[in-house]
Structure 1
Amino acid sequence: MHMKQIWGALAAATMLSLAPPAFADVKAGVDAWQQGDYDKAVTLWRPLAQAGDPDAQFNMGQAHKLGRGVKADMASAIDWYRKAAAQGHARAEDNLGLLMFQQGDRAGALPYLQRSAARGEPRAQYIVGTALFNGDIAPKNWPRAYALMTRASAAGLAQATASLKQMDKYVPADQREQGLAMARDMGQKEVAALAEANGRTSSAPVVREGPPPLATAALPPAPDAEKPALPKASAKAKPAAPKAVAAVQQPKTPAAKAPREAEAPRAATSGGWRVQLGAFSEEGRARALWNSLRSKVSGLSTYQLFLVKGGAVTKLQAGPLASNAEAARLCGAIKAAGADCMPRKM
């Protein structure tokens, strides 16, 4: 697939997420947003963002991207994401790279997308893998392209799975083996990168109802072998339109992606860690998400469900887990199933 066609399959899959509260007003803004009072949320976030708070800056970027509480303005969204990313806000960096790519600044987006791919962001892995395969905006590197596409496919990105099958027709067997070895190494490094990103930001609950999975794009056969390129959607075979995601969350960093399948690590009998899947105004919504994920993530039902009350909010957590690494692995499996997740030290 040529780079200019990639975004059509991915743009609507970018999930709205709101950053954790560094100050009470940030949390109050998240609460207002959750209730649909976008004007109030933006009013609370703007002065904090202007004062340099990265969480408020990220939230302002989200508001401008979606046109809620403010006029939709992609340039302003990019500006706010860039400010937050410069302060180490990993989620802002993910969104910055993807939005810059969507807006046509492919070369400028590449460094951000490469860092996002290293943290296990499957859409970034898909884009960077495509660039490395085609030699578009990056030097051609088929083993690494195959590795990144393998990781994105393992995380459940349907477009990556389709592209990986096309790559099998062109990438020699020895280079595919190199790519698979790289992919295994990437899986281990993604957990470490996520843990590092988690350590740079404060913890906070996630406010989100389970979003639908990415829509599958119908892809035509690959072009002739003399000039290989990943397939692009044709006018005759239009890809299915991805579903828009309207759920709201309040994460601090992107969750680690599953190394292979959406399979949870074995539950520990004790430990000082849990994973947090959401914070809801209604307990029933928390239980509904838990029941949905138990059917999608193999082994999740072996963990204990925790419903932690905090004022009007019910936090959905699972555990216990023995370490941050184990929590990150479990989050990876949950993320691959289409939900968000963050490790929490208890």
Structure 2
Amino acid sequence: MACSIAAAPVAADVKSGVDAWSRGDYEAAVKEWREPALKGDPDAQFNMGQAYKTGRGVQTDLNIALEWYKKAAAQGHLKATDSYGHLLHYQGKVAEALPILQASSDRGDPRARYLLATELFNGTHIAKDWVSAYALMSLASSAGMTPASESLAQMDKYIPLEQRQAASVLAGNLEQSATRNAAQQADAFPINTQPPVKTTKQVAVPPAPQPQPKPKPVPVKAAPTVATNSASPWRIQLGAFGEEANAKKLWSSLKSGMTEMAALQPIYKSAGNITRLQAGPFASKSAADAMCAKLKAAGKACLVVPA
């Protein structure tokens, strides 16, 4: 509905700011956003938070960024809500961040899942739950977060196999639930405030401090962007493991339990200490989606990925 009033002065200022940001004119963007942000526009507020977090157009100030995110989040801006939870956690306000991270995780936000999984594994600020921790860390790893993959490899050393197997089932259920939650919640205005394409440096919230008890996953690091090629054949990803043998055990179990899997080829994709179990190929994403739907209906974890 808000898009239908794009010609109104406030919305026009926000759009002008986005155009300026896309050109790399960050000071002009902030100038355009400030007044509508003060008047309560959630997109402008979120964008001001981005500017103060990244130090583009203004001097970096995470406290001011936090306040802008908080204002936009209070109006239901989901991207601002995610950023608000991340930044609270980074500033050490873990108790305040946890319910926000939970809500973001429930919608499928990979960084929130990584932070929440870390807390559930360590059990310092929340009750320890290794099954949920492993499930969430697996999902964050499957989304392409390198630090999540590194933490998953560490978890493999401590979490018993039966709990990891239970986590695999839980991960599938969580992904189904996240898809429903994301569809039911409407974001305010999804404005892209990333720098121009020619800029290669990626912006991310700085690493969050981690509690000291051992064992613990590695601290938060910036998540890389995962490039995809839409023209490539498709695969389904069935899990990520610290040991290839566990990936092979899962494939053997799935192949014997579902006749549809017999026609697929297993692919064991190694990345550092992590082995991702994938299967395919599929000629189209829709075919891969259909297979994933069958697996998820059977309580199995499954993600569609390009080959």
TM bucket by the smaller chain? 0.5 to 0.7
Candidates 109, 121, 128, aligned match of 1:133: 121
- Shift of the alpha carbon at 1:122? 1.4
Displacement over 6 Å in runs of 4+: 203-208, 210-215, 298-301
Could you tell me which amino acid in structure 1 is paired with residue 56 of structure 2?
Answer: R
Candidates 216, 240, 247, aligned match of 1:230: 216
| Residues 1:168 and 2:156 aligned together | yes
Number of residue pairs the alignment of both structures matches: 227
- Shift of the alpha carbon at 1:68? 1.8
Aligned counterparts of 1:213 and 1:42: Cα–Cα separation in 2: 20
**Alignment match, 2:50:** 62
| Residues 1:100 and 2:94 aligned together | no
- Shift of the alpha carbon at 1:230? 2.2
Q: Is the 8 A contact 2:139 2:171 kept in 1?
A: yes
Could you tell me which amino acid in structure 1 is paired with residue 52 of structure 2?
Answer: H
Aligned counterparts of 1:51 and 1:69: Cα–Cα separation in 2: 20
Structure with higher RCO (Cα < 8 A, 6+ apart): 1
Q: Is the 8 A contact 1:94 1:112 kept in 2?
A: yes
Could you tell me which amino acid in structure 2 is paired with residue 181 of structure 1?
Answer: V
CA deviation string 1:164-215 (max 9, x = no partner): 1221222122222221111000111121122123x34356779764978999
**Alignment match, 2:188:** 201
Aligned counterparts of 1:38 and 1:260: Cα–Cα separation in 2: 39
Q: Is the 8 A contact 1:155 1:260 kept in 2?
A: no
Q: Is the 8 A contact 2:78 2:188 kept in 1?
A: no
- Which aligned pairs between 1:1-346 and structure 2 lie closer than 5 A? 23-197=11-185, 199-202=186-189, 209=197, 228-232=214-218, 260=237
Aligned counterparts of 2:172 and 2:73: Cα–Cα separation in 1: 28
- Shift of the alpha carbon at 1:134? 1.0
Change in CA separation of 1:172 and 1:213 when aligned onto 2, cut-off 3 Å: farther
SS in 1 for 2:36: helix
SS in 2 for 1:140: coil
Aligned counterparts of 1:178 and 1:47: Cα–Cα separation in 2: 51
SS in 2 for 1:48: helix
SS in 2 for 1:137: coil
Aligned counterparts of 1:186 and 1:242: Cα–Cα separation in 2: 24
Aligned counterparts of 2:56 and 2:192: Cα–Cα separation in 1: 22
**Alignment match, 1:4:** none
Q: Is the 8 A contact 2:118 2:217 kept in 1?
A: no
Q: Is the 8 A contact 1:84 1:92 kept in 2?
A: yes
Q: Is the 8 A contact 2:118 2:133 kept in 1?
A: yes
After TM superposition, the score normalised by the length of structure 2 is 0.63
Higher-helix-fraction structure: 2
CA deviation string 1:74-103 (max 9, x = no partner): 111000000111111111111111112222
Task: State the identity %.
Answer: 43
Change in CA separation of 1:300 and 1:31 when aligned onto 2, cut-off 3 Å: farther
SS in 2 for 1:156: coil
* Bigger Rg, which one: 2
After TM superposition, the score normalised by the length of structure 1 is 0.56
SS in 2 for 1:23: helix
- Shift of the alpha carbon at 1:62? 0.6
SS in 1 for 2:215: coil
SS in 1 for 2:19: helix
Q: Is the 8 A contact 1:54 1:84 kept in 2?
A: yes
Change in CA separation of 1:97 and 1:153 when aligned onto 2, cut-off 3 Å: same
Change in CA separation of 1:176 and 1:88 when aligned onto 2, cut-off 3 Å: same
